[in-house]
C-alpha cells in the first residue's frame, strides 16, 4: 500500500472506482494474452510481466476492499475438489 499511496493509485475505497479497477485488471489479462500470442514470454511487456501486472492490480484491489484473497483462494480450491468439469461438452482448449 505504501507504493500505491506514493504513486497515487489509491489506498481506500473512496479513492478508487471499483469498476475501473476491475477493467484495469482485465486489460492486464488481455495484455498477457497478446504477449503469449506473440511468443513474448519473458521480454519487456511479456507474459510474465503482464501476469505480474494483473496480480498486482488484483492484490491492490483486494487490499483496498479488505478482501482476504488468500482465504478466498483456499476456500475456492477446497470447493473445486467437489466439482467436475464436463470437458466433452465444453468448447475450451486444454
Ligand atoms: Mg501491463
Tell me the CATH number for domain 2-83: 1.10.287.1080
The predicted-structure confidence for 29-64, as pLDDT tens digits, reads as follows: 999 999 999 999 999 999 999 999 999 999 999 999
Rounded distance from Cα 50 to ligand 1 centre (Å): 5
When pLDDT is cut at 50, 70 and 90, the band that residue 92 belongs to is: confident
Domain ranges in the chain? 2-83
Rounded distance from Cα 49 to ligand 1 centre (Å): 7
What DSSP string describes 46-69? -HHHHHHHHHHHHHHHHHHHT--H
Rounded distance from Cα 86 to ligand 1 centre (Å): 33
In this predicted structure, the answer to whether residue 94 has a pLDDT above a threshold of 70 is no
What is the model's pTM?
0.90
Rounded distance from Cα 84 to ligand 1 centre (Å): 33
Rounded distance from Cα 88 to ligand 1 centre (Å): 34
Rounded distance from Cα 93 to ligand 1 centre (Å): 25
Amino acid at each position: 500500500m505504501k507504493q500505491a499511496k506514493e504513486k497515487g493509485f489509491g489506498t481506500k475505497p473512496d479513492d478508487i472506482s471499483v469498476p475501473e479497477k476491475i477493467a484495469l485488471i482485465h486489460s492486464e489479462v488481455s495484455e498477457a494474452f497478446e504477449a503469449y500470442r506473440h511468443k513474448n514470454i519473458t521480454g519487456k511487456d511479456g507474459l510474465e510481466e503482464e501476469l505480474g501486472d494483473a496480480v498486482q492490480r488484483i492484490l491492490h484491489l483486494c487490499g483496498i476492499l479488505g478482501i482476504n484473497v488468500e482465504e478466498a483462494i483456499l476456500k475456492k480450491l477446497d470447493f473445486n475438489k467437489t466439482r467436475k468439469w464436463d470437458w466433452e461438452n465444453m468448447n475450451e482448449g486444454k
